[in-house]
Amino acid sequence: MKIFLNVPNLILITAIACGSLLSQTSKLQAKQTPTNPSFPQLLLPKLFRDAQAPAATEKPQETKTPPNSQKPTTNKVINPGKINFIRPKLPPGNAPGGRRTGGGRRDNCPDVNPKLTALVPVSEKTDNITNVWALTTVERPKFWFYLPYTKSSQYPTEFILQDSEGETIHQKDIALPEQPGIININLPNTVPALTVGKEYRWFLKVYCNENKESPPVYVEGVVSRVNLNLTVTQQLSTATPQQQAAIYAQNGIWHQALTILLELSQNNPKDKIVHDNLASLFSEIGLREMANKPIIVGQP
């Protein structure tokens, strides 16, 4: 039997055959691949399909902190150039009173600026009484003063310390320095140790004539000895001298804070950090200008 195929019929048969072949190929590919890729991907070799697929990104593993581990601790650093002095509460009973700067109408001393000054804090009560009062932790603290008078004046000068009963337990003549400046007065071992909780009154008097015929120019104040608590003691044991000064100041212990910084300044006069800390401490009690005054070496 002869079959006559014209051109249109041949094209139709070819299209039907190709469609059937593609249908079978799609079914076979669907069985092998869980997903349904697009038609162009089916015609690409596997190597090229893999190259076009986006690379899998590995999620970085999270590092978990063990439940018993501690966070790193940081040591508290004293801010250089800034020291805070916390004034302690005044002792119970009568107000200490006192006088931080010397000078008056009855003495014959020349007018000077700054005046004779006790380097201690002051506080005022509502009755306008000025209280010159500070704390110490040692048996025999150092006392610091600014002396505007010099050796050439030949003014008799004396330091007096009295116990809580008003009895004089120490009296000493003070030699004036060669130039105006800051001096310190030490208590010798012959002076009884200050008792914790007791108040002691001190005076520094300058007579502006050799025969003491006129009232002296003087300063006056009170010192009390206290004990430190265990926490503060432990902090001091691991602190540098400047940190110790800051710790004492923050706990209201004026005598130790001032003594540390003045001695550091005396031994390191060009140390800017020491100077800034000293100026900061003096600023806390209204005596910032004293940070620039010379410290007289040696005992008066």
Farthest CA pair distance, the chain = 163
Tokens of 263: 């001695």
- The residues with which 183 forms a beta bridge, in sequence order, are 145
* Cα–Cα distance, 60 to 278 (Å, whole number): 53
At 222 the three-state DSSP class reads strand
CB 202 within 8 A of CB 221: yes
- The pLDDT score that the predictor gives to residue 169 is 97
- The pLDDT score that the predictor gives to residue 105 is 60
- The pLDDT score that the predictor gives to residue 92 is 84
* Cα–Cα distance, 252 to 235 (Å, whole number): 15
CATH of domain 117-292: 2.60.40.10
pLDDT in tens, the chain (300 residues): 444 445 445 444 454 544 554 455 444 444 444 444 443 443 334 433 444 444 444 444 443 433 333 333 233 445 656 899 999 998 888 889 999 999 766 667 888 999 999 999 998 776 788 999 999 999 999 999 999 999 999 999 999 999 999 999 999 999 999 999 999 999 999 999 999 999 999 999 999 988 888 899 999 999 999 999 999 999 999 999 999 999 999 999 999 999 999 999 999 999 999 999 999 999 999 999 999 999 997 655
Tokens of 124: 């005022």
Tokens of 251: 């706990």
DSSP one-letter string for 159-192: EEEE-TTS-EEEEEE-PPPSSSEEEEEPPPTTSP
Query: How do strand 157-162 and strand 199-206 relate by DSSP bridges?
Result: antiparallel
Cβ atoms within 10 Å of 237's Cβ, excluding its own? 8
Cβ atoms within 10 Å of 175's Cβ, excluding its own? 11
What angle separates helix 272-284 from helix 241-250, to the nearest 10 degrees? 10
- The pLDDT score that the predictor gives to residue 78 is 54
What angle separates helix 254-267 from helix 272-284, to the nearest 10 degrees? 150
Listed by start position, the domains of the chain span 117-292
